[in-house]
Amino acid sequence: GKIHGGNQVYAYNKQMSQTYNELLLLESDIRKAFKRNEFRLAYQPKVDVKSNHIVGVEALIRWEHGKKGNIPPSTFIPIAEEIGMIHAIGEWVLFEACQQFMRWKKAGAESVMIAVNVSAIELQQTDFLDKVKKIIKETKMDPNYLEIEITENSVMHNTIECIHTMKELRKMGISLSIDDFGTGYSSMGYLQKFPINYLKIDQSFIKDLFNEAGSAEIIKAMIQLGHTFGLKVVAEGVEGEKILQFIREEACDYYQGYFYSKPLDPIEIGRKLKKPN
């Protein structure tokens, strides 16, 4: 049959401009949301595989848009990165997380590690370390309880400077995690070079465990690899008992996932961290 090229192009353009307009709208909405303080943090427990105790929480940004409802970070973080808003948002996230840690502490909760996601662009900014120092000073946060999660890909660019920044963070007492491990197109040489503490196995591998041949072997290998380099290994996206059992047998150290808890608001986490008295 004949291809109606003209119509196709028309439809394509119309769709494109619609997407483009939506993108512009979202851009200005992100700026407004920031000014109006519309972002929130939810916290997902990080749990010890053996004892099933909470060893930490990961801060995850939330945005309840006035008209569009909940917009996931996977939608707006990439845009925030593109328009440069990630610096202000990232600073807010770190400040808010540290402040929340102190609120829990003052309320008598047991102190556990608090992890914050940092974008590659933030990590590469020359004043990133100064910002972190300033926030720690202002909030009186104990940096030994602070963990920064960076994705595998983000540390691959700009390696020398990244290593310097990471080393300085470690000197301050901050811990470092490689997030989404296994999804990057990196060589694994960095495991040796980078001063990291934790590997977080990406949830795609965990999801595939009982569906795709070879996934179990990949997970096993990743756990072993982490341990070989003296790192603690975290499994992400654990949704069921069977998967937990598998990673327990393979001596994975920590896990996160809906099986234990979805991300919760600060009050709910505070309750979970209450010291028994």
Chain residues binding ligand C2E by CB under 6 A are 44, 60-61, 72-74, 77, 90, 93, 117, 119, 179-180, 237-239, 256-258, 263
Q: Which is nearer to ligand C2E, 29 or 179 (CB)?
A: 179
Binding site for Ca ion (CB under 5 A): 117, 149, 179-180, 236
Residue 168: how many other CB atoms lie within 10 Å: 15
Of residues 160, 201, 162, 157, the one with CA closest to residue 178: 201
Output the six-digit token pair for 189: 């040489």
Residue 270 CA, distance from chain mean position: 20
From the CB of 17, what's the least distance to ligand C2E, in Å?
27
From the CB of 4, what's the least distance to ligand C2E, in Å?
40
Q: Is the dihedral of CA 7, 9, 11, 13 positive or negative?
A: negative
From the CB of 223, what's the least distance to Ca ion, in Å?
16
Q: Which is nearer to ligand C2E, 74 or 277 (CB)?
A: 74
Q: Which is nearer to ligand C2E, 100 or 119 (CB)?
A: 119
Contacts of 27 (CB under 8 A, 6+ apart): 79, 83
Q: Which is nearer to ligand C2E, 80 or 112 (CB)?
A: 80
Contacts of 191 (CB under 8 A, 6+ apart): 225, 229, 231
From the CB of 182, what's the least distance to Ca ion, in Å?
10
| Among Ca ion, ligand C2E, none, partner that 114 touches (CB below 5 to 8 angstroms by kind) | none
